[in-house]
Structure 1
């Protein structure tokens, strides 16, 4: 009877996971882990997934969407419209392929935890490495979001209340504001038992970013060419005739810096497996569709934001798009609302980013332990306390963030998924000379190329900055 049931389960899952054309194949002895209705004890969670498809899309999209969207117009100004579109399309496709590799590896061994995949592929050292990379990357992301709150929220309050920039009121102090925001908004959401419960807040966060995109499109037809808008800043300077002309291909010294920014625009991989774990009716194909829909939605939003922002300011586009709008009219009420919407969006993203860190720490510190509220709450409080201290007392950690991002992001997107696939998929099913494993090997090599390139750019920028500072003395 057990053999008959197992055979039926194998047929079901092998039909769900195609064997050819680069798709993973589930070995029969592992298929039993994939049947979500099995009576056997779960290998990856003590929670029966109940999160809907839509809520999962909201959560994954919110994990993808970051503050980097504010710099995409600047990236387009340094690459040109066509080159930007080509790069963005390639990176979106690579991100979908990366999710495919993760899901294939998870399907074969019946594990839906990034750290456990590291354990299966490389032993305890692989588990620790995956947990450390996830922790460092997501702490960097959380800190960057809180830095935006620290510096932008006082400006919004100042403008709404008509206060001067030098006001000594406590509510104009960014350090106090991030503590208040953390305690009142972020912490309660971070204490949710399951990531799926954040689907509503993630949906609202995405609505805020859609509002931001709508204003960017509206302002494109509301603001005249930067030749007039920025004329007051260069009265005695004759501007080139092509200042208000869109460029399709652009190569300059900033182009090389924008490529890594675009490459990491779809980082969401630490959240993929936790979302998969809590998905109702979980199958690889269903989770892959969630990843594809989320990446497609963010691709459209990224491109529209970039092109309408660029076509508003052309070469005058600055690295932070909202700051460029402020030069047009600092007191524009619509732009103030957009600033507030962006602040709400990044604030609601922090709890989503926190969940994979807590999961990684639980895998390292309390492996195999059942859920316990005290551990759940304590880790969230300690993480938020540490990130707040980092944001408050470290005035400029640009290079630290840069180095962490240049090493952890390519590891999460390219290197680890490729290595997991190579190590976990049995060689008797897919030998190293098979097309899927060759593709995974090339994908991993691409990750090392991105890492080397990003670290090189950071080093050059660092040296140039030091040379300028010495020259100033």
Structure 2
């Protein structure tokens, strides 16, 4: 129709301006008698591309891409690179607040935004090489982070809190930890930071960086001490069971001595492994660790049922309902469940990293871990009652073959797990004092040697594994699990009813930290419960 009108105008000798006015009158005149066929519709300007939304519905202002890339809906996502990142981000990364650069204290994942010369082939190759896992693998990684050395202290936690209170605490704390683990990912999206440390520093500046660094360092260093104690509690029992007269043999008799075993095995096995720069070389130990935990769990359940009457403890009303060590029990349970420093790592390793998929992994992992801890706690506590020790394996006799196999698995597992904690401590120190600096072999050797030797010395002078669990759980575990994640959420989000649970969680963590720390120190000073004998 428009072409016909133009042709008639040219034949009539009309000027171009007359044709424009004529068209305007035809389109805009209210009194026009033409029907719908006379209306000419011009397409408007193409709409500007909207800002993409993240899975938790938070909107970011991203830098515009070039016209060729932004107009192609099939354009591939940013490529991944394997270069490690430091804990603090540069300005280029700070300008793109997406979870493409995710790192944890122990393992680093990295990604970078688009570059102009990228093509589909190079992107596909980087995507193929990116460390990624499905829901099952992510579940195994998180469950392994939770079901660690702390599970051995769950019967002791029930002794401190009482049976009924212990069950309630385990369920409530599992739900709370499940929520705060997911909250770390939400906080990372809100802040645009690529790590737990970066989020806390974004929210509270230098003070926040100091707080998260101290909490992570103390938790990892406390784990090193606990692992040294476990090695001393486990290996000598196994050696004397295999070779009853070992203590009388020159030189080799040292393997029957607790302190000698700690020095020999920590310096001979754990220390060389701690000198690795790449933590991935110890990745195979994770599978063995989970298998070892399952062996220990089955052993405690079976041998607890078969335990002789003289080895069993007694019960009273307090032990069955509520005991005086409720806050200390919270610390022991918290030590077992804290895996918050690995949450962003596990999130970033998913093939499709979304909040919903990560929530599913978290629910499954914490749920299965809670059942394992509950089974261990009930099997150990209902067997030994008031005699339950911090390391429940020490309640069994030294000549029990099945228990000795579990001790061997546990001790060897701790020898390979101690370097992982040393790596965390070393990285926290390097990122705090020397951020962004190139690798320095002298600093690497000094930090590693100092950490391993100091943790070994502390494990030589203490035998009470329960006291270590209480202290670390009361301080760093409470800060990592109950205080810092909700505190960052309060800082990043708008004030509404949604922040009420976060405020309650911060108050809970602060109260538990203060009371349980005072109780644990007072217990050690007053020697309450008697001196724990090194066996």
Fold match by TM threshold 0.5: yes
1:416 to 484, 502, 506: 484
1:219 to 296, 300, 303: 303
3-state SS, counterpart of residue 264 of structure 1: helix
Give me the whole-angstrom Cα distance separating, in 2, the residues matched to 1:462 and 1:62.
Answer: 31
Q: Does 1:435 align with 2:506?
A: no
For the 8 Å contact 2:297–2:376, the answer to whether it is kept is yes
Q: Does 1:126 align with 2:208?
A: yes
For the 8 Å contact 2:227–2:415, the answer to whether it is kept is yes
Which residue does 1:203 correspond to in 2?
Answer: 287
Q: CA RMSD in A?
A: 3.9
Give me the whole-angstrom Cα distance separating, in 2, the residues matched to 1:186 and 1:372.
Answer: 21
1:155 to 237, 246, 254: 237
Q: Does 1:70 align with 2:152?
A: yes
1:38 to 49, 66, 78: 78
For the 8 Å contact 1:59–1:198, the answer to whether it is kept is no
Give me the whole-angstrom Cα distance separating, in 2, the residues matched to 1:360 and 1:31.
Answer: 32
Give me the whole-angstrom Cα distance separating, in 2, the residues matched to 1:230 and 1:387.
Answer: 32
Cα separation, partners in 2 of 1:393 and 1:214, compared to 1, 3 Å: closer
1:361 Cα deviation from its structure 2 partner: 2.1
Which residue does 1:235 correspond to in 2?
Answer: none
Structure 1 regions of 5+ residues with no counterpart? 18-24, 232-238
2:173 to 91, 101, 112: 91
1:454 to 516, 526, 529: 516
Structure 2 regions of 5+ residues with no counterpart? 1-46, 65-74, 80-91, 94-99, 104-108, 112-129
Higher relative contact order (CA 8 A, sep 6+): 1
1:192 Cα deviation from its structure 2 partner: 5.6
1:396 Cα deviation from its structure 2 partner: 8.0
Pair member with larger Rg: 2
For the 8 Å contact 1:422–1:440, the answer to whether it is kept is yes
Give me the whole-angstrom Cα distance separating, in 2, the residues matched to 1:158 and 1:150.
Answer: 13
Give me the whole-angstrom Cα distance separating, in 2, the residues matched to 1:214 and 1:164.
Answer: 29
Cα separation, partners in 2 of 1:404 and 1:306, compared to 1, 3 Å: closer
Give me the whole-angstrom Cα distance separating, in 2, the residues matched to 1:435 and 1:313.
Answer: 45
Give me the whole-angstrom Cα distance separating, in 2, the residues matched to 1:115 and 1:132.
Answer: 11
Cα separation, partners in 2 of 1:368 and 1:37, compared to 1, 3 Å: farther
1:365 to 433, 450, 455: 433
For the 8 Å contact 1:27–1:108, the answer to whether it is kept is no
| CA displacement, residues 49-68 of structure 1 (integer Å, 9 cap, x when unaligned) | 50424554444333323433
Cα separation, partners in 2 of 1:458 and 1:160, compared to 1, 3 Å: same
1:402 Cα deviation from its structure 2 partner: 5.0
Residues 292-441 of structure 1: pairs in structure 2 closer than 5 A: 292-326=363-397, 330-369=398-437, 379-392=447-460, 403-423=471-491, 425=492, 430-432=493-495, 434-441=496-503
For the 8 Å contact 2:181–2:343, the answer to whether it is kept is yes
Q: Does 1:253 align with 2:335?
A: no
1:144 Cα deviation from its structure 2 partner: 1.0
Cα separation, partners in 2 of 1:290 and 1:50, compared to 1, 3 Å: same
1:107 Cα deviation from its structure 2 partner: 1.6
Give me the whole-angstrom Cα distance separating, in 1, the residues matched to 2:226 and 2:390.
Answer: 15
More deviation, 203-212/338-347: 338-347
Number of matched pairs: 431
Relative to the length of structure 2, the TM-score reads 0.69
Give me the whole-angstrom Cα distance separating, in 2, the residues matched to 1:467 and 1:317.
Answer: 11
2:190 to 97, 108, 124: 108
Cα separation, partners in 2 of 1:291 and 1:121, compared to 1, 3 Å: same
For the 8 Å contact 1:98–1:414, the answer to whether it is kept is yes
1:87 Cα deviation from its structure 2 partner: 1.3
More deviation, 160-169/449-458: 160-169
